[in-house]
Amino acid sequence: MFHAVLTSETDWAGWRAATRSLVLGGVEPNAVRWTVGGTPHLLPEATGSFGVSRTLVSLASVAVQAREPERFGLLYSLVWRAHAGETLPDDDPDLRLARRWALAVRTDAHRMRTHLRFMPVGPHLLGWYAPAHYVLEANAQLLAQRFPARPWSVVTPDSSAHWDGTALRIGAGVPRIEDDETLAAWWDAHGDAILCDSTPGVTVPPAEELDEAPRPPDRPAIGPIVLPVASASALAAARTDAASCERCDLCDAATQTVFGEGPADAAVLFVGEQPGDQEDTIGRPFVGPAGQLLDRALEESGIDRRGIYITNAVKHFKFTLRGKRRIHVSPSPEEIAACGVWLDSERAIVRPKLLVLMGGSAARAVLGRPVAVTRERGQAIRLPDGQMAFVTVHPSYLLRVPEGEAQVREYRAFVRDLTAVRELVGMV
């Protein structure tokens, strides 16, 4: 029995080197034990070479980040079989498992980039996150490439990553942190020691080489990256990423992604359902009839549209054709969930005090459950991340109310809601 010892859970280079020695040494998968940490054991002398497909190497480089104890052995077995000339069918159970792990890693990497929040500690930015898989190092490289100007640290229970403006270092993990105050206090007490004991991470190539950079773990799937502090450039980066989104089928028929707009440090973030016909054509949210009605109501309630961030839960227009007319169709819960990453990005960057959820789709996107707008309208709801949410109707609802007294009554009620929003922001 051979014992392959890796230096860390993310020791991709160590796994590759051991795999090469073992394959060239003719060591069958069931004769290898893989562990992380401990005294290195001698592996067979590696002479000669062999090749497996780039696809398999790429898959292994992502799946190796999964929090699955048996991943090193299973991936070795896939390489062993491929090197022996076996064609791995698509329904091979090990291959399918590795693909499932890779998908989970990519999803987790994406989630980390969209949910990660930083807080300033002196000139440093500090973020804490507990990823489901070992995705910190690959994500840290992307963060360093995208946002090289300011030093930051990301700490997780497994390890920590530190960027000083020129080099990335990897250090020890930290205990689970519950809130910003505890994190700041913990950093004050241990930050210097962690930085001192950290070791160089992988070299970070210049941003312009990003697309040609090696595949994961050097480069996980690219998604929106969130700057921790209010930042117009982070919004621009997220907008650029969203422009090529194909997470659901709605991008097929729509003209373009309609991302949110407004100041990156807005105190209030308005969320609608999805762009309409005109928004889809123009590429800006709330510029059609519902947007014009909203503008009027905002003005009457004393809210300056230029000071708010306004977006939609779903960024592509969903419609059905009736002759030449494109008729709005409500997005499904799955489409709302798929598009949630972009709304999460906007929320994480803007960090508003208050989210105004206009209509059931917006409320569902943020509250994560079906919402009866008429029942929950007008209440301030505290969200798990500390932000407040306020449910009201979507302005397009007002357009559907029959003209006359009922429409006037509903419009006045909407203006009252917006007035309450303005007052609430002063209070939150």
Contacts to ligand SF4 by CB under 6 A: 242, 245-248, 250-251, 257, 314-316, 335, 338-339, 342
Report angle CA 385, 391, 394 to the nearest 5 degrees.
Answer: 130
Which own/partner pairs from 79-83 qualify as long-range (CB within 8 Å, at least 24 positions apart)?
79/19, 79/23, 79/52, 80/22, 80/23, 80/28, 80/29, 82/52, 82/53, 82/56, 83/23, 83/50, 83/51, 83/52
Minimum distance, C-beta of residue 105 to ligand SF4, in the bound complex (Å): 20
Minimum distance, C-beta of residue 311 to ligand SF4, in the bound complex (Å): 11
State the virtual CA torsion across 112, 114, 115, 121 in degrees, nearest 10: 90
Q: What is the DSSP letter of 261?
A: B
The runs of H, that is alpha helices, within 326-394 are 333-350, 360-367, 373-376
Minimum distance, C-beta of residue 72 to ligand SF4, in the bound complex (Å): 34
Nearer to ligand SF4 by Cβ, of 239 and 394: the residue is 239
Nearer to ligand SF4 by Cβ, of 242 and 303: the residue is 242
Minimum distance, C-beta of residue 274 to ligand SF4, in the bound complex (Å): 8
Nearer to ligand SF4 by Cβ, of 106 and 315: the residue is 315
Minimum distance, C-beta of residue 396 to ligand SF4, in the bound complex (Å): 18
Nearer to ligand SF4 by Cβ, of 81 and 315: the residue is 315
Q: What is the rounded CA–CA span in Å between residue 160 and residue 154?
A: 6
Rg for the chain (alpha carbons), in Å? 25
15: which residues sit within 8 A by CB, 6+ positions away?
4, 6, 60, 64, 72, 75, 76
Residue 279 CA: distances (Å) to CA of 70, 149, 304: 49, 35, 20
Minimum distance, C-beta of residue 328 to ligand SF4, in the bound complex (Å): 14
Nearer to ligand SF4 by Cβ, of 201 and 260: the residue is 260
Neighbours of 29 (CB within 10 A): 18
Sort strands 159-163 and 168-172 into parallel, antiparallel or unpaired.
antiparallel
8 A C-beta contact, residue 271 and residue 389: no
Minimum distance, C-beta of residue 334 to ligand SF4, in the bound complex (Å): 10
By CB atoms closer than 10 A (0-12, 13-18, 19+), residue 414 is buried
Neighbours of 289 (CB within 10 A): 15
Nearer to ligand SF4 by Cβ, of 250 and 266: the residue is 250
Minimum distance, C-beta of residue 248 to ligand SF4, in the bound complex (Å): 3
Minimum distance, C-beta of residue 350 to ligand SF4, in the bound complex (Å): 18
Minimum distance, C-beta of residue 247 to ligand SF4, in the bound complex (Å): 4
Nearer to ligand SF4 by Cβ, of 250 and 371: the residue is 250
Nearer to ligand SF4 by Cβ, of 28 and 246: the residue is 246
Nearer to ligand SF4 by Cβ, of 311 and 392: the residue is 311
- The string of DSSP letters for 196-219 reads HH-EE-PPPPPGGGGGGSPSTTSS
Nearer to ligand SF4 by Cβ, of 110 and 247: the residue is 247
